[in-house]
Amino acid sequence: MSQRYATGTDEEREAAVEAASLAVQRGELIVLPTDTVYGVGADAFDPAAVRGLLAAKGRGREMPPPVLVSAATTLDALAVRVPGYARALVEAFWPGPLTLVCHQQSSLQWDLGDTRGTVAVRMPDHDVAREILERTGPLAVSSANRTGMPAATDADQAEDMLGDDVAVVVDGGPAPGGEASTIVDVTGAQGRVLRRGALSLERLNEVLEPLGATLTDEG
């Protein structure tokens, strides 16, 4: 059964961040607020914890979770051959609702599932989420819901669906975004939108067009 922590005061927030960080270190799952929807997270470098995350969601290895980071500079620790247009998107939209699918560093000792040599990375625009990430390092985070159910936009919904599988629920109030991130594949010479989300193709291309680049939309 999960323990739930409020974040309304500085003291509550510190207790919530500490409890979440300790749970991650123990290989347990947590529910955390983000700027888009609530997420369920595990230590990205703990294969057993990641397997637990996939099992809690009812997912298989063919749907590996994205990785959340606390700083844009962490991208180069996780990914290689990041093209210039992807860096322009990072500069414009991180922190924010943009997930980039990159070539992963081959030296990383982790197992996120069947990633085919890629990693999906995002920096959330949410202070509590980033405080947790600063203490835990990169987290494998997927939307806090059972597969096939709507993504949780508050702690109650997340707890209803995943409370039996997580150790800590961090209640940050209603998710301010309520819409999932836009996912862009940046492994090729031209970026491809894999999932439409909070950022429109038009907004993304506004940044890229002055660079002579555009994204295609496969979302």
Average pLDDT of 200-206?
Answer: 97
Report whether pLDDT(177) > 90. Answer: no
pLDDT on residue 219: 67
Q: What is the pLDDT of residues 121-158, one digit of tens each?
A: 999 999 999 999 999 999 999 999 999 999 999 999 99
Average confidence score pLDDT of the chain: 96
Query: Is the CA virtual torsion 133, 68, 162, 166 positive or negative?
Result: negative
C-alpha pair distances (Å), 62 with each of 34, 41, 51, 116, 218: 24, 18, 12, 10, 19
pLDDT on residue 200: 96
Q: Which residue has the tokens 């997270």?
A: 41
Q: What is the pLDDT of residues 20-39, one digit of tens each?
A: 999 999 999 999 999 999 99
| Listed residue (147, 193, 198, 144) closest to 169, CA to CA | 144
Which of 3.90.870.10, 2.60.200.30, 3.40.50.150, 2.60.40.420 is the CATH number of 3-217? Answer: 3.90.870.10
